[in-house]
Structures are given as C-alpha cells and as structure tokens.
Amino acid sequence: MSTSEAASRHPGRPEASGVLESRLIDIDRQRFAEEYWGKRALFTRGAGDFSDLFSSEAVDELISRRGLRSPFLRVAKDGATLPTSSFTAPAGVGATIADQLDDTALWRHFDGGATLVLQALQRTWDPVASFVTRLSGELGNPVQANAYITPPQNQGFDDHYDVHDVFVLQISGTKRWIIHEPVFENPLRDQPWTDRREAVASAAAGEPVIDEVFEPGDVLYLPRGWLHAAQAQGEVSVHLTLGVHNRTQYAIAEHLSEALLAALREDPEMRASLPLGVDDPGEEVVEAVKRRFAAALERADPRPGLYRANR
C-alpha cells in the first residue's frame, strides 16, 4: 500500500506513524503502551482494509498451488488438533516428500467443520512477511503470523489462553469472539492453558469482557493469558493472528543464568573437586561459591542470548 492510499483509508493517521498506529489501533502509540500493552484487551472496530495483506484467494493459492508441507498447516476440530497423516500424502511421481498437503483431504475436513490453520505466513506469503517485519521492529519483539479459516457456525478451539500476545485481524466473513480476563497472568511459554483447564472452564462460564461479532477490518489486541474462543457466523471466516513472542524479565534472567554458568565453567577453582569424603560442602565452601557467583554475575551480559532468541 502506498503512503497516499494509507492516508486515504486512515485520515489523520499517516503511514509514517508505523503500522501499529496506522493500521491496527485507533489510539496513539503512547496511550496503547501505557494502558493496553501487556495489560488489557483492545477491540478496534473498522481499523482498516487488510485485503492487501491476505485474502480468500491467498488461502486457495497456498493450499492448492504452493506445495506446502505439514509444518505450515494444522487442522483443528472440536477443540482438538487432527493428526497430520489425515491431511497429507506423498508428493507424487519422482518426489521423496511424504508429508505434502493433500488438498482433497484438507477440504474434506473443512466441509466437515474443521478449521484450517496456515502457520508461519511470514515465511510463505510476501505481503504478510513485509508487514510482520515492520510490526516486529516497532514492537521490539518477534512476530509470527497464522491464518485461521473456519467454516460457517464452527469453531476450531475451545476457550483457552495463549502464551504470547496477539493481534487478530478479521480478513473476510464474520466471527463472534468472546473474551474473559486471565486466570493466570503473564504466562510463560512453558505455562500453557492446559495446565489450568478447570480454572479456564470456570472463568469462561462467567460474564465476558468482550463479546463482539468481528467484521472485515476489525482488530483485536489480546495480551497473553486472556481467555478467548471464537465461532464463525453465517459464512466462511478468515482471520490473521499476529503472535507477539514477548521478551520478558524472566527471559533476561534465563540468559543471564546461561552467561553466568558459561563464565563459571572457565574458572579452575569452580571446577575443582570438593574434599575427599565430604558429602556436605559446609558453609565456608557455599559462601565462597556465592562470592564467585556474585562476581561473575556482575560481568554477565544477557544480550547476545536475547539477540539469538529474537532471530
């Protein structure tokens, strides 16, 4: 989209402000950062036209003509992910690929009410890749894009929470989203909703914070941990989910620990054996280790590890 096109679609919000402000939210960046980022959900009605990013035609192109393999697609029905073997097949004569998408089987699942999930679109669809690159730079966090294609009156997943923030962009069709507050705030990647099924189910039975039918151009920002479920309405729904893989203080602590232990490995005193016949190191040894630990911590730099994790 050109700058002039963006300006015409969003009067008063120039493209130079970045894709976050110009295309995803109808408030300024500072207010979003202070009131919503990592804190609460934000629903924006009519944020813009996303046909330049993705479409139903893009779905057909990816499934029927791109030769996608299984890591780039999931199929879900009634809250469960279907086995990959149920929608993949060998690639044909002369090919050694055994897990290429079988579009006939795939559409059969879809006709039966299954949701198709096209994963990692930032690697397979150029317009999404460009958008994700810009958004990631603005947010300071890695971003992944998935597309969800759901048949009418169906939903792929039960009430759950994600372990990353998301922006949901309704592309075509309509979908009813029901949002509840977290039962577990700021979950890390190894703290999934399945560890708290009963709490999630109980909270989902209560009064929602947001209950809206999304139309094309609507956007939802949802911090990690917020409960959600969505059902397509009277036609096929296509939406993009931009998953923000949040950098956290815990991640900094993890990389500090790695840098610290790497430094201590190079210290001959730390590698030395404890005295013979001693199964309790004693207070003196423990305090000596603490002193070396503290000294190494002062020199430890977590940034190289964080940089690798964000690539």
- 8 Å CB contact between 232 and 174: yes
Mean pLDDT, all residues of the chain: 89
Q: Calculate the CA 51 to chain-centre distance.
A: 21
For residue 80, what are its two tokens? 């469960």
- The pLDDT assigned to 187 comes to 97
Stretch (H or E) spanning 260 = helix 249-265
Lowest pLDDT segment from 134-148, 215-229, 266-280:
266-280
Phi, psi values for residue 283, rounded to 5°: -65, -40
- The pLDDT assigned to 104 comes to 87
Taking Cα atoms as reference points, which of 159, 253, 155 lies closest to residue 202? 159
Q: Is the pLDDT confidence value at 153 over 80? A: yes
Q: Is the pLDDT confidence value at 227 over 80? A: yes
How does residue 96 score in pLDDT terms, banded at 50, 70 and 90? low
- The pLDDT assigned to 71 comes to 81
Residue for token digits 């893009």?
58
